């Protein structure tokens, strides 16, 4: 029962008591009529709940396809169309809302406003156009307006693009809206939340219709306008240890001249040499050796904290996907090593469009890692978990079934209600239920797991970062170990691209210097991409605060700290010949592609050059 119904019940009860006390039969009859009216509305509302809601089904089409598993792209527009079907006629005063996770961003929507035009029977249209039907409809609207004016009309909020309000009876409806993915990861569209009201707003009930679909959101990438050629453009001798594949192929460098053999193509005949030697000679060219690119990505908790689309890992995914796209397009194989705290995973070599798609899928799975195990619970976590459960499992928060006995504390009652819902979702025993109710260390992991499954980002009030203080030290040690292992198993003339953040890199730059020297000694190329919290290059000049406000002072201090860290990293790495970039923009992509070009040509560049 809503607040409007409670107030009307209270007024009717007060009128009944006053009528009995004063002996006013008319007041007693009016109060009893109000009670009977509310009882009739409650019976009709329960009939609608019991017979209409079970027969409602929804079908969701994502980009005009209805599949349980599919692939989406970050940053691209996603079209959603939801069809609602029922076995019997659905009456108005019912609202549907498609549940959208935090990973997605609502763009706009278009509401059809009723039954599908192509499926409305002609008889129904004729009946609705009849004089009697229009008269009854006008009488119904006038009655509802009178009661709404008498009882106080509640202000209606603006409808969201993913919401649909039923305005007329029917069996089949649909509505459309558009989304855009903020970041790469795993997207789960759970279903629709249904809100059912009676005609006068006395009763309201929320239910959930399951229509789960899972998608892999692949990271976006920048398609280079000018692809790098797959031939050698500079006629320069390579360094010692850099070898080309010494066998005949379709390259551009001359391998040898041999006598003509039947079946050789005429365009390979060296006519000038044949004239001097008085016999036909055929040119044999070297086989081009592709440049192997290794991507080493740091996925520690410091890179994952923040909202979707604002994490440092999102910058890394964009640059890594763009570099892989440019390398695969000219036939260069790409591999990746994913570092997540103290865990290290090395992916195989990918080539071709299919390999590029597999690499992006691995990056999407890597972006959706489990949060660290929480040992405490914050009020923000409890509030967020309660709202999400109320949206996804509204029946689990019904106080009629999960009430703490002999308790008058609202806080403890809500804690017990949340613990009961968590136990029902994860299938916990009664003993584990009471442990979750009493102990934060037991409830914390389940709350964070619940928030993670519902698509909440790693943000400080929601996700308690319980990583040890030396987490960055462990992550950088694993990253340096991955570089050393890659150098040990690498072939001639490979390119190592390291992705990390400025803070971790500045604190442990000595370890990177050692492994970069090792890679340089083996004639490999090393490029370092350091993501920043501002998504831009560090400001080279001293930043003065615009005012004495706390926000301006904190911004100036953050910029000064990032500038000092960036200068320290650049000074230590560029002096040994490594290329460094401090952004997730196009400049970082261009820097890595230049290093791949130099590895292909076998040339060197001056140490300390600006990147």
Question: Which residues belong to CATH 3.40.50.410 in the chain?
Answer: 293-371+468-601
Select 52-218's CATH number: 1.10.10, 3.40.190, 3.30.70, 2.60.40.
2.60.40
CATH code 3.40.50.410 for 293-371+468-601: yes
Question: Which residues belong to CATH 2.60.40 in the chain?
Answer: 52-218
pTM above 0.95, yes or no: no
Instruction: Enumerate residue ranges in the chain where pLDDT < 70.
Output: 109-159, 224-253, 286-289, 400-408, 461, 463-472, 533-546, 584, 601-611
Which residues of 45-161 form beta strands (DSSP E)? 56-62, 69-73, 77-90, 94-98, 104-115
Q: How far is CA 375 from CA 125, 413, 464, 466, 602, in A?
A: 62, 22, 8, 7, 53
Q: What does the alpha-carbon distance between residue 275 and residue 109 come to, in Å, rounded to a whole number?
A: 75
Q: What does the alpha-carbon distance between residue 546 and residue 556 come to, in Å, rounded to a whole number?
A: 9
Q: What does the alpha-carbon distance between residue 379 and residue 275 come to, in Å, rounded to a whole number?
A: 90
Q: What is the model's pLDDT at position 352? A: 85
Q: Tens digit of pLDDT for each residue in 498-550? A: 998 887 787 778 888 888 888 888 888 899 888 876 655 665 566 666 677 77
Q: What does the alpha-carbon distance between residue 185 and residue 340 come to, in Å, rounded to a whole number?
A: 15
First to last CA, the chain: 66
Tell which phi-psi region holds residue 241, choosing left (phi > 0), alpha (psi between -120 and 50) or beta.
Answer: left
DSSP for residue 473 = H
Q: What is the model's pLDDT at position 357? A: 92
Look at the chain and count its residues.
611
Q: What is the model's pLDDT at position 549? A: 76
Q: What is the model's pLDDT at position 124? A: 34
Q: What does the alpha-carbon distance between residue 184 and residue 366 come to, in Å, rounded to a whole number?
A: 9
Token pair recorded at residue 531 = 């993501």
Token pair recorded at residue 141 = 């609207």
Q: Tens digit of pLDDT for each residue in 560-606? A: 777 787 888 888 888 888 888 887 677 888 888 888 888 776 544 44
Exposed/middle/buried for 106, CB within 10 Å: 0-12, 13-18, 19+?
middle
């Amino acid at each position: 029962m809503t607040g409007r119904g409670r107030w009307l019940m209270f007024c009717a009860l007060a009128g009944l008591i006053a009528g009995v006390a004063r002996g006013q039969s008319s007041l007693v009859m009016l109060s009893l009529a109000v009670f009977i009216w509310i009882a009739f509305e409650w019976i009709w509302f329960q009939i609608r709940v019991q017979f209409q809601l079970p027969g409602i089904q929804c079908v969701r089409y994502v980009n005009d396809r209805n599949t349980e598993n599919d692939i989406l792209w970050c940053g691209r527009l996603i079209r959603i169309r939801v069809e609602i079907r029922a076995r019997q006629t659905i009456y108005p005063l019912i609202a549907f809302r498609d549940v959208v996770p935090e990973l997605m961003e609502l763009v706009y929507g278009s509401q059809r406003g009723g039954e599908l035009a192509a499926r409305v029977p002609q008889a129904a249209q004729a009946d609705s156009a009849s004089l009697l039907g229009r008269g009854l409809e006008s009488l119904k609207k006038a009655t509802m307006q009178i009661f709404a004016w008498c009882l106080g009309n509640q202000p209606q909020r603006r409808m969201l693009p993913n919401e649909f309000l039923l305005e007329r009876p029917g069996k089949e409806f649909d509505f459309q809206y558009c989304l855009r993915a903020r970041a790469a990861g795993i997207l789960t569209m759970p279903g629709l939340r249904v809100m059912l009201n009676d005609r006068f707003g006395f009763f309201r009930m929320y239910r959930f219709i399951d229509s789960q679909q899972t998608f892999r959101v692949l990271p976006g990438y920048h398609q280079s306008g000018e692809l790098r050629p797959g031939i050698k453009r500079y006629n320069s001798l390579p360094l010692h240890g850099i070898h080309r594949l010494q066998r005949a192929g379709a390259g551009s460098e001359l391998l040898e001249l041999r006598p003509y053999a039947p079946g050789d193509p005429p365009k390979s005949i060296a006519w000038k040499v044949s004239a001097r030697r008085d016999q036909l000679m055929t040119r044999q060219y070297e086989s081009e050796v592709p440049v192997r690119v290794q991507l080493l990505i740091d996925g520690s908790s410091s890179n994952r904290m923040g909202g979707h689309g604002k994490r440092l890992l999102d910058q890394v995914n964009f640059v890594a996907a763009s570099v892989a796209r440019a390398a695969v397009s000219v036939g260069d194989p790409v591999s990746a090593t994913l570092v997540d705290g103290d865990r290290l995973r090395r992916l195989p070599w990918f080539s071709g469009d299919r390999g590029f798609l597999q690499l992006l899928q691995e990056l999407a799975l890597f972006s959706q890692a489990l949060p660290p195990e929480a040992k405490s619970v914050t009020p923000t976590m409890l509030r967020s978990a309660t709202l999400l459960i109320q949206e996804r499992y509204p029946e689990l928060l019904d106080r009629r079934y999960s009430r703490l006995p002999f308790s008058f504390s609202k806080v403890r009652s809500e804690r017990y209600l949340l613990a009961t819902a968590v136990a029902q979702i994860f299938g916990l025993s009664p003993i584990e239920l009471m442990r979750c109710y009493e102990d934060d260390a037991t409830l914390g992991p389940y709350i964070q797991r619940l928030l993670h499954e519902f698509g909440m980002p790693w943000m400080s009030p929601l996700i308690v970062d319980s990583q040890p203080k030396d987490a960055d030290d462990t992550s950088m040690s694993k990253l340096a170990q991955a570089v050393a292992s890659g150098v040990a198993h690498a072939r001639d003339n490979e390119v190592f691209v390291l992705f990390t953040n400025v803070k971790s890199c500045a604190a442990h730059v000595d370890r990177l210097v050692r492994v970069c020297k090792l890679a340089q000694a083996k004639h490999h190329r090393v490029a370092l991409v350091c993501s920043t919290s501002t998504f831009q290059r560090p400001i080279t000049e001293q930043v003065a605060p615009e005012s004495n406000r706390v926000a301006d002072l904190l911004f100036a201090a953050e910029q000064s700290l990032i500038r000092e860290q960036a200068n320290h990293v650049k000074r230590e790495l560029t002096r040994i010949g490594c290329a460094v970039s401090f952004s997730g923009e196009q400049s970082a992509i261009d820097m890595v592609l230049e290093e791949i070009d130099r590895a292909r040509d076998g040339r060197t560049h001056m140490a300390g050059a600006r990147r």
